[in-house]
């Protein structure tokens, strides 16, 4: 679906635009191209404004002069709210009518599997009862989907993956804009999910689709049951994530990261290669690689042990 820029301005209740550029979607300031619009609502990203190649940007009037020549300012005092309203224009149309998948050789598909349109399966794919594969899903050769796995539209699963029962890949990320009177307006998640080769995902785990762009689980990663991977995360190769852990939006993990059970990582943080995070830890800032972290907030393991020893010593003195 494409809209003329002047149509979008009219739908959003913004100043009329005479520009008839065709707009095909929304993306971030640095990723948006000449057929996309973007938004700006956080001053810490102001250095990105001069470099955007978007056709137009939803922006407050006080920042409009920072845009490069040729980029149209869509003036609003609520750019994030207008983004939410605009995102609905480009949302995937949900339909119940399906189709027949394009299948490779040697596939074993239970008759109780449902497919959307334009689904592609490689060779020797096994799909068990109760699975659903939405529009445009691609599953690579040798992959196994256990019963009741759901792959939302646009999801890509590469070769030799194992997805366990009840896993949901490509569900909407948790994103809302808020009105001045406290209502919550959905930001439609128009990105996708890409699972690389040799990934295993446990039962009832969820991997959310990106707001824009792609949520990525890189090759060889093993994810336990009951794990939450939020929108726009990038999980590095050969990472291990243990049960009941959660990654908030836009977390990036290096390769061979280990995350212990019931740990949580706040949004937009980076964890370096070969870092280990002990169970029940709460990560509130980015962490260097090749170290072990513990506690809430998560700190270096040796420092955490010293603190625990000090606390135990103080308790003994009081007794």
Active site residues: 231
Q: Quote the tokens at residue 91.
A: 């949302």
- Rounded to whole angstroms, what are the CA distances from 318 to 23, 216, 307, 312, 314? 69, 51, 17, 10, 6
Q: Say how many C-beta atoms besides its own lie within 10 A of residue 167's C-beta.
A: 24
CA distance 110 to 246: 32
Give the phi and the psi of residue 312 in degrees, each rounded to 5.
Answer: -65, -40
Give a three-class secondary structure readout of 82-144: HHHHHHHHHCCCCCCCCCCCEECCCCEECCCCEECCCCEECCCCEECCCCEECCCCEECCCCE
DSSP category for residue 3: E
Q: Quote the tokens at residue 19.
A: 């520009």
Q: Are strands 3-4 and 22-23 parallel, antiparallel or unpaired?
A: antiparallel
Give the phi and the psi of residue 22 in degrees, each rounded to 5.
Answer: -85, 130
Helix (H), strand (E) at residue 22? strand 22-23
Helix (H), strand (E) at residue 59? strand 56-59
Residues 191/232, Cβ–Cβ less than 8 Å: yes
Strand partners, 266: none
């Amino acid at each position: 679906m494409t809209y003329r820029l002047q149509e979008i301005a009219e739908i959003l209740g913004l100043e009329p635009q005479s520009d008839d550029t065709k707009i095909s979607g929304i993306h971030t300031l640095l990723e948006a191209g000449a057929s996309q619009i973007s938004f700006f609502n956080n001053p810490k990203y102001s250095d990105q404004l001069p470099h955007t190649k978007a056709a137009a940007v939803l922006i407050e009037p006080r920042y409009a002069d920072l845009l490069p020549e040729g980029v149209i300012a869509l003036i609003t005092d609520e750019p994030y709210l207008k983004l939410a309203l605009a995102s609905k224009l480009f949302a995937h149309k949900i339909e119940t009518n399906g189709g027949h998948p394009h299948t490779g050789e040697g596939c074993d598909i239970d008759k109780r599997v449902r497919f959307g349109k334009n689904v592609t399966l490689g060779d020797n794919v096994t799909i068990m009862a109760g699975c659903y594969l939405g529009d445009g899903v691609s599953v690579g050769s040798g992959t196994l989907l256990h019963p009741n796995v759901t792959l939302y539209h646009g999801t890509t699963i590469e070769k030799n993956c194992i997805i366990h029962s009840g896993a949901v890949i490509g569900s909407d990320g948790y994103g809302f804009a808020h009105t001045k009177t406290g209502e919550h307006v959905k930001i439609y998640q128009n990105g996708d999910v890409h699972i690389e080769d040799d990934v295993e995902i446990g039962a009832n785990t969820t991997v959310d689709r990106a707001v824009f762009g792609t949520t990525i689980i890189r090759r060889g990663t093993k994810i336990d049951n009951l794990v939450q991977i939020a929108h726009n995360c990038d999980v590095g190769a050969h990472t291990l994530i243990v049960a009941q852990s959660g990654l908030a939006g836009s977390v990036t993990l290096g390769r061979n990261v280990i995350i212990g059970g019931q740990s949580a990582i706040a949004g937009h943080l980076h964890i370096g290669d070969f870092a280990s995070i002990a169970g029940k830890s709460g990560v509130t800032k980015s962490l260097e690689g090749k170290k072990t972290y513990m506690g809430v907030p998560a700190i270096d393991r040796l420092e955490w042990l010293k603190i625990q020893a000090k606390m135990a010593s103080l308790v003994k003195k009081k007794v």
